[in-house]
């Protein structure tokens, strides 16, 4: 798929009657059946005048459906949902019993956030308090529970840190301590009772995880038994298992170096595959199959794009060339496994948009049928009894203008059944389209730029722009899918520009490394070049503001320092303002950056506090506060450990001293990412008001 091709043909959404009738057994299931022959045509865009702006609450809401997953046999469907309640609960739909809805589990003080099937008759899940703010994560571990689909036999398997939990009037007899995590749920096997999952005991050192010891846990009884990992290397912090739960890869970390060890089928001892520096990996293990193959990524070509390949145990090297490459993008995806002992069904990758390459012929035909019925969208298939004539497929269909809808496809009946929308009240006809462009920076580097354009603009009508800089910075920022903040800003008439500046991942190793030690420099120029390009194309007007979180907040502030002529204002939340505090830390400021990161990563990627002191000071918003002339909105989480509140407080004091006090808000109990819907909504309203004061939104 060429860059931007998927967004260009997204025109409209297939009109299907999606009837939501599922919430913890409070109402009957009203799932509407629709065959291929009964499918309606595409909805036509109306010609009526543009209605008033959608309320903030529609963009920043808790999704109606968080996750959905078919049971191993495909006979049941589990869903986590907030529909009809104030908490996220777990329900199960029995697909073979008239779509009977089973009230599986819900709590009054916590939300069920992660779950998995253990056979067809039991589920495991973890919980978080989504109403408590991100600071909850500092105090309470998520625990692990098991339950039957009908809600019976609820058992606490792993304690929630700092929280007691009672069932049937008392604590379970066997519960593991909070420092245990679910590692893997094996695929079902013939003749094996599916009662056990793999968990890991996490052992921590002074400031980091030191080892993970795996073991078997019976989800019915709470009993544990040892996993045979005799001779496994010390300080293993990550494991890869085959579909049966056999440990195949042990990955270790010590003193800034990673190593991987292998024990294949029939092997009795572990052997080292490689060892490398933390920032210079030779091979990154991704998955193993039941044939004893190890898959991972390596960098290929002058731009160093990641490709998926297989490790050659005879040569003790990754195979070259790679097996799966995605030109213009790093390989970012997964192998899709069907059942124990079977080869992979396909591979799912993210380029400009998500796509699945199926190896199985039946899955190819099914994908084609679904794509024909739901055109112009990404249709992600998750199958049970994959490839069989009675296969059941869960379809999550989404687009840049639609958070998504769930469908169930029964191959035997060629029946596509709508299940639910992922979010309520989102009308795709009123959402903005997103597209990916490739431009050239001032020094000739390829720069991917995502544009979200407000609907209803006349041809040739430039819009005031918000340059939205992603955090990280060592992540990929944009994906072709619905996102709350860009859609919210576009709904207010702003062109949203999201550059994948150098230092971003996902676009080749060269692009990633080109951003090292370039905070406020070439990275900042890339952000400016994206805006200048949009203005040259007649898409953006000369009225622009810059915004972002974390590193993006840092970049928003540095935009006012380095390119004051381009931006009328800046919105910076949880922003790094003092690179020295970020790199060195302080006895008086608590944070969560590890000593390993400060010793082995940040000096090379951001700068050395002694050798690069002058460079860091020249690119410090705090040190350069006197050059910030435009209005600034600052927002912080009071419990943030990644970028502590001190960053914001120090810059606020410096701007006050310079006679330009910023607008300011801080949120109690929030950390580096807002968790409470109320926080999201309050902040969005502040952003809307702030931008309206300093930009003139386009009037479609």
Residues 408 and 454 reside in one and the same domain: no
Residues 546 and 409 reside in one and the same domain: no
Residues 497 and 413 reside in one and the same domain: no
Confidence (pLDDT) at 95: 92
Residues 110 and 163 reside in one and the same domain: yes
Residues 597 and 474 reside in one and the same domain: yes
248 located within any domain: no
Tokens of 565: 């002529």
Residues 489 and 513 reside in one and the same domain: yes
Q: What is the pLDDT of residues 580-589, one digit of tens each?
A: 999 999 999 9
- Sorted by sequence, the CB contacts under 8 Å of residue 307 that are 6+ apart come out as 297, 298, 299, 300, 321, 322, 323, 324, 325, 326, 331
Residues 453 and 592 reside in one and the same domain: yes
Measure the N-to-C terminal CA separation of the chain; round to a whole number of Å: 32
Q: How far is Cα 502 from Cα 213, in angstroms, rounded to an integer?
A: 38
Residues 446 and 521 reside in one and the same domain: yes
Q: In 422-523, at which residue ranges do the beta strands (DSSP E only) sit?
A: 433-440, 446-453, 463-469, 495-499
- Among candidate residues 394, 423, 452, the one where a domain is terminated: 423
Confidence (pLDDT) at 184: 95
- Hey, how many other C-beta atoms are within 10 angstroms of the C-beta on 459? 5
7 located within any domain: yes
Residues 409 and 504 reside in one and the same domain: no
Helix/strand/coil for 119: coil
Tokens of 327: 């030109």
Residues 419 and 467 reside in one and the same domain: no
Beta bridge partners, 633, equal 571, 663
Confidence (pLDDT) at 172: 56
> Which residues form the domain of 415?
1-39+51-187+403-423
Q: What share of the chain is helix, strand, coil (3-state, %, to 5)?
A: 20, 35, 50
607 located within any domain: yes
Tokens of 637: 């989480």
Confidence (pLDDT) at 512: 98
Residues 413 and 556 reside in one and the same domain: no
511 located within any domain: yes
- Give 145's DSSP letter: E
Q: Cα dihedral sign for 624, 626, 631, 632? A: positive
Could you give the number of structural domains in the chain? 2
Confidence (pLDDT) at 37: 32
615 located within any domain: yes
- Among candidate residues 392, 423, 454, the one where a domain is terminated: 423
300 located within any domain: no
Low-confidence ranges of the chain (pLDDT < 50): 1-50, 166-171, 700
Q: How many CA atoms lie within 13 A of 320 on its CB side?
A: 10
Q: How far is Cα 42 from Cα 15, in angstroms, rounded to an integer?
A: 6
CATH of residue 617 = 3.40.50.1820
Q: Cα dihedral sign for 312, 318, 320, 321? A: positive
Tokens of 351: 């380029």
641 located within any domain: yes
Confidence (pLDDT) at 169: 38
394 located within any domain: no
Residues 662 and 689 reside in one and the same domain: yes
- Sorted by sequence, the CB contacts under 8 Å of residue 700 that are 6+ apart come out as 50, 454, 455, 456, 457, 458, 493
Tokens of 533: 């390009």
Core vs surface per residue 8-31: b (16+ CB within 10 A) or e: eebebbbebebebbbbbbeeebeb
Antiparallel, parallel or unpaired: β 495-499 and 446-453: antiparallel
Q: What is the pLDDT of residues 347-376, one digit of tens each?
A: 999 999 999 999 999 999 999 999 999 999
- Among candidate residues 371, 395, 423, the one where a domain is terminated: 423
Question: In the chain, how long is the greatest CA-to-CA distance?
Answer: 75
CATH of residue 82 = 2.40.128
Confidence (pLDDT) at 699: 52
């Amino acid at each position: 798929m060429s860059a931007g091709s998927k967004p260009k043909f997204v025109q409209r959404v297939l009109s299907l009657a999606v009837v939501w009738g599922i919430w913890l057994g409070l109402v009957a299931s009203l799932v509407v059946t629709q065959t291929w022959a009964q499918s309606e045509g595409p909805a036509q865009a109306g010609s009526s005048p543009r209605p008033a702006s959608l309320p903030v609450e529609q963009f920043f809401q808790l999704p109606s459906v968080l996750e959905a997953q078919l049971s191993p046999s495909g006979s049941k469907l589990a869903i986590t949902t907030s529909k009809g309640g104030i908490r996220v609960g777990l329900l199960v739909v029995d697909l073979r019993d008239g779509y009977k809805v089973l009230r599986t589990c819900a709590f009054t003080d916590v939300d069920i956030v992660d779950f998995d099937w253990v056979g067809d008759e039991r589920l495991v899940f973890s919980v978080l308090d989504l109403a408590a703010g991100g600071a909850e994560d500092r105090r309470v571990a998520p625990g692990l529970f098991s339950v039957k689909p009908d809600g019976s036999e609820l058992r606490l398997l792993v304690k929630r840190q700092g929280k007691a939990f009672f069932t049937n009037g008392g604590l379970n007899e066997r519960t593991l301590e909070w420092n245990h995590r679910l590692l893997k749920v094996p695929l079902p096997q013939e003749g094996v009772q599916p009662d056990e999952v793999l968990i890991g005991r996490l052992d921590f050192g002074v400031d980091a995880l030191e080892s993970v010891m795996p073991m078997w846990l019976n989800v019915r009884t709470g009993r544990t038994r040892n996993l045979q990992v005799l001779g496994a290397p010390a300080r293993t912090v990550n494991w890869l298992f085959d579909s049966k739960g056999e440990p195949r890869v042990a990955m270790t970390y010590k003193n800034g170096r990673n190593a991987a060890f292998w024990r294949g089928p029939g092997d009795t001892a572990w052997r080292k595959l490689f060892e490398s520096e933390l920032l210079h990996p030779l091979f990154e293990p991704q998955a193993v199959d039941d044939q004893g193959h190890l898959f991972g990524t390596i960098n290929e070509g002058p731009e160093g794009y990641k490709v998926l390949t297989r490790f050659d145990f005879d040569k003790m090297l990754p195979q070259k060339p790679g097996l799966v490459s995605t030109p213009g993008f790093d390989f970012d995806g997964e192998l899709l496994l069907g059942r124990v002992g079977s080869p992979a069904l396909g591979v799912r990758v993210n380029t400009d948009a998500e796509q699945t390459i199926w190896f199985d012929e039946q899955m190819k035909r099914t994908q084609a049928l679904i794509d024909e019925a739901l055109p112009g969208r990404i249709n992600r298939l998750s199958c049970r009894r994959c490839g069989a004539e009675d296969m059941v497929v869960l379809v999550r269909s989404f687009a840049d203008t639609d958070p998504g809808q769930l469908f169930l496809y029964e191959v035997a009946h060629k029946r596509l059944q709508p299940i639910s929308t992922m979010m309520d009240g989102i009308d795709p006809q009123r959402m903005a389209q997103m597209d990916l462009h490739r431009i050239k920076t001032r020094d000739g580097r390829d720069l991917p730029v995502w544009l979200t354009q407000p609907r209803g603009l006349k041809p040739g009508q430039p819009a005031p722009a918000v340059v939205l800089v992603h955090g990280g910075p060592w992540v990929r920022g944009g994906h072709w899918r619905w996102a709350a903040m860009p859609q919210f800003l576009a709904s207010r008439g702003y062109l949203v520009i999201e550059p994948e500046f150098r230092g971003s991942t996902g676009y080749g190793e060269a692009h990633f490394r080109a951003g090292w030690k370039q905070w406020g420099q070439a990275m900042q120029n890339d952000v400016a070049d994206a805006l200048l390009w949009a203005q040259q194309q007649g898409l953006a007007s000369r009225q622009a503001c810059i915004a972002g979180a974390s590193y993006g907040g840092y970049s928003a502030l540095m935009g006012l320092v380095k390119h004051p002529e381009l931006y009328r204002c800046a919105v910076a939340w949880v922003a790094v303002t003092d690179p020295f505090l970020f790199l060195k830390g302080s006895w008086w400021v608590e944070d969560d950056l590890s000593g390993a990161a400060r010793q082995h990563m940040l000096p090379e990627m951001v700068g050395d506090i002694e050798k690069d002191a002058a460079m860091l000071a020249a690119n410090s918003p705090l040190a350069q506060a006197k050059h910030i002339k435009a209005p600034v909105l600052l927002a912080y989480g009071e419990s943030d450990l990644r970028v502590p509140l001190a960053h914001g407080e120090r810059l606020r004091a410096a701007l006050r001293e310079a006679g330009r006090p910023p607008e300011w808000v801080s949120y109690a109990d929030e950390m580096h990412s807002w968790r409470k819907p109320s926080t999201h909504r309050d902040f969005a309203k502040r952003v809307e008001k702030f931008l309206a004061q300093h930009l003139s939104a386009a009037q479609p």
